[in-house]
Amino acid sequence: MVIVSYNDNSVLPFMQNTYADYLGDGRIRVIEYNENRIFADYSAWSCGYVKDIAHKQATGDVLFNLDADNFIDDELHQTLLTLPANTLLITKQSEWLPDGRSGRIGLNKSDYSNIRYRDKGRNDDGDFIHQAILARLQIKQIPCKYKPIPN
């Protein structure tokens, strides 16, 4: 798991105090990334940009974006373990748009060179899904019984 601490130097000390074993054996990596930048929507933060940093640092075969307000269940976990190339996995949520934009999006690392997260403001997941469709990845939607935390 890669956690990007973007312009926030409090994350690594917290993780060291709370998850030292996971940091020590490599199950969790924290990347501290500090810069002064303004993004496409004129904010100081871009989800797509930070997701791109995390995906480029990942070492596994499957890249999966799990927003901090989301969870995964056993079915989603098992699907990720066997996710084939040329497939984009997104979860269905009745309270979200029907294309599955719910903060749970995965693909095989080999496909990330063809599509990637970009600085698109709040439309980063929609842009990513659109790129996957244009690249002719198979879209696989599965439900997840856990709803996101309201924020």
Mean pLDDT on 121-146:
89
pLDDT tier at 71, thresholds 50, 70, 90: confident
pLDDT at 97: 52
Our count of domains for the chain comes to 1
Whether residue 9 is contained in a domain is answered as no
Mean residue pLDDT of the chain comes to 89
What pTM did the predictor assign?
Answer: 0.85
Whether residue 22 is contained in a domain is answered as no
Whether residue 26 is contained in a domain is answered as no
Mean pLDDT on 118-141:
89
Whether residue 80 is contained in a domain is answered as yes
Whether residue 123 is contained in a domain is answered as yes
End-to-end CA distance of the chain: 23
pLDDT at 100: 43
Whether residue 124 is contained in a domain is answered as yes
How big is the chain by its Cα radius of gyration, in Å? 15
Continuous segment of H or E residues that includes residue 65: strand 62-66
Whether residue 36 is contained in a domain is answered as no
Please report the sign of the dihedral spanned by the C-alpha atoms of residue 6, residue 9, residue 14, residue 19: positive
Domain ranges, residue 133: 61-143
